[in-house]
Amino acid sequence: MNWRTIFLSLKNRDMQKRLLIVIGLIIIYRFIAHVPVPIAEGSELKQVIDSVLSSSSFGGFLNLLSGGALASLSIVLVGLSPYITASIIMQLLTKAIPRLEELHKDGESGRRKITQFTRVISVPLAIIQSIALIFILRQTILAGNTAILSNPTPIEWIVTITAMTAGAVLLMWFGELITEQGIGNGISLLIFAGIISQLPSTLGTIISSLTDGSNPLHVFNWFTIPINATAFWVTLSVAVLGLIILYILVKINEAQRIITINYAKRVQGNSAYGGVKSILPVKLITAGVIPVIFAVSFLSLPAALGQVLKAGGNPAFQAFATNLITWFQAPQPGSFTGSTLQAFIYPIAYFVLVVLFTYFYTGIAFNSSEISENLQQQGGFIEGVRPGQQTEKYLSRTVNRLTLFGALALGIIAVMPFLIEYIFAQFGISAANLAIGGTGLLIVVSVGLESLRQINSRALMVTYDDYK
């Protein structure tokens, strides 16, 4: 990363314009995240959300990705989930439907049509998710008997769902506008901004716990510092561990296998082409942080189903609903004691799903057959490997080996916060939401590095004349 080039590029008017547009859109997004949904029983629903956030790691994860929109019951409560889901659906359909695959290979015009299909699919998904969220929240209130709610009128339902759907579409538009500026993926940057926006409240919680003078810190019995000793050592331990994990994440995220590509020399008329070498970098974790997001979302489904069945009040499903909630509830500090086998269900399922989704998404993102075909058409070959089917097998074998190590590493990092919670709980120390912090750290590192790479590339373009 050439920081000098990046700083020089800030003098360029085009670079300044692009950065200001991105920063402005992110600021507008943060304002919108505090605009409440126009709903009749907003205060009662907010009480339920507060209880969900305090008792559920998945609730905290959703609030983290939405940048606090869940806690504020904002119109962007649904967030970017419909667009992300629609993108995955379109990627799968592109591999399954030949017509879509042809569009994908047609270049920019084909990709624009696929993007338009993705936008269209996002709207009904946003409507469905909006209805599901409000329904689950209302059922949770009724099941807990925390308030008496009147049945909403059709107009109230229409206004609420329309507002939440409009918020999701607005975020989708913001993401595409940011992507067009060429300094990062818009959807990823919005998620990144949502996570970073939680830092002030986190820092406030840490400072308040440190300034609690109930247990002052004694330094070698020489003098006393008016800060909480327990909170100080916990904060210091988490900070050191966080730096170590951050270093490992950066190394794993940047790790790649370099495959040398040779191009055969061709003579056409009086001109010679080829005869050069190039490289094909294959990342250790091609899927990035997407498997972690998918795994957490997938694991939330059994617990959500259990909540709906329990709220339904049918005695035949009460035992089954209770088991679903118990088995697939993310372990809280002190609850992951290992005294029962049920305590291991969530962490083990989390690890397995991260590994499986890493393989699944890598197979979509890295197409060995397509790369092999393109190399053969361009006269490229890997030394010691015949073009065509042998090259495809070589690339598939290489990617599978890299993905195995990358998936295991990503799974271990994803599950590590639960282990830390368990160790801290043995000493009677609360380390709440470390799992959310670990997931957030994965997303921040991945998106931050990718955005810096794109900013560096844009900086090289705008400062090219300075190096002539």
Predicted confidence band of residue 99 (pLDDT cuts 50, 70, 90): confident
Q: Is the pLDDT of residue 129 over 60?
A: yes
* pLDDT number for residue 168: 87
Q: Is the pLDDT of residue 341 over 70?
A: no
* pLDDT number for residue 452: 84
Report how far residue 233's alpha carbon sits from residue 227's, in angstroms, rounded to the nearest whole number.
11
- Please report where in the chains the tokens 């397509």 appear, as a residue: 370
* pLDDT number for residue 81: 78
Query: Domains in the chain and their CATH numbers?
Result: 1-197 (1.10.3370.10), 255-432 (1.10.3370.10)
Predicted confidence band of residue 348 (pLDDT cuts 50, 70, 90): confident
Q: Is the pLDDT of residue 421 over 80?
A: no
Report how far residue 341's alpha carbon sits from residue 111's, in angstroms, rounded to the nearest whole number.
48
Q: Is the pLDDT of residue 333 over 50?
A: no
Q: Between residues 213 and 8, which one has the greater pLDDT?
A: 8
Report how far residue 152's alpha carbon sits from residue 137's, in angstroms, rounded to the nearest whole number.
13
Q: Between residues 286 and 352, which one has the greater pLDDT?
A: 352
Pairing state between β 256-263 and 266-268: unpaired
Angle between helical axes of 290-312 and 345-365 (0-180°, round to 10):
130
* pLDDT number for residue 84: 79
Q: Is the pLDDT of residue 457 over 80?
A: yes
Q: Are 260 and 383 in contact (CB under 8 A)?
A: yes
Closest of 151, 190, 149 to residue 170, by C-alpha? 190
Give the predicted TM-score (pTM) of the model.
0.74
CA dihedral 126, 130, 131, 132 (to 10 degrees): 100
Report how far residue 217's alpha carbon sits from residue 439's, in angstroms, rounded to the nearest whole number.
31
Residues with Cβ within 8 Å of residue 33, at least 6 apart in sequence? 66, 67, 68, 69, 72, 74, 76, 194, 197
Predicted confidence band of residue 339 (pLDDT cuts 50, 70, 90): low
Q: Is the pLDDT of residue 346 over 70?
A: yes
Q: Between residues 265 and 333, which one has the greater pLDDT?
A: 265
Amino acid making up residue 459: A
Predicted confidence band of residue 367 (pLDDT cuts 50, 70, 90): confident
Report how far residue 20's alpha carbon sits from residue 25's, in angstroms, rounded to the nearest whole number.
8
Q: Between residues 216 and 172, which one has the greater pLDDT?
A: 172
* pLDDT number for residue 312: 61
Report angle CA 301, 448, 285 to the nearest 5 degrees.
60
* For the ranges 49-58, 95-104, 202-211, 425-434, the one whose mean pLDDT is highest: 95-104
Cα–Cα distances in Å, from 143 out to 138, 149, 302, 370? 9, 11, 18, 53
Flag the least confident range among 65-79, 222-236, 325-339, 363-377. 325-339
Q: Between residues 83 and 49, which one has the greater pLDDT?
A: 83
Q: Between residues 402 and 301, which one has the greater pLDDT?
A: 402
Percent pLDDT > 70 in the chain is 72
Query: pLDDT of 309-326, one tens digit each?
Result: 766 666 666 777 777 766
Closest of 322, 80, 41 to residue 195, by C-alpha? 80
* pLDDT number for residue 189: 85
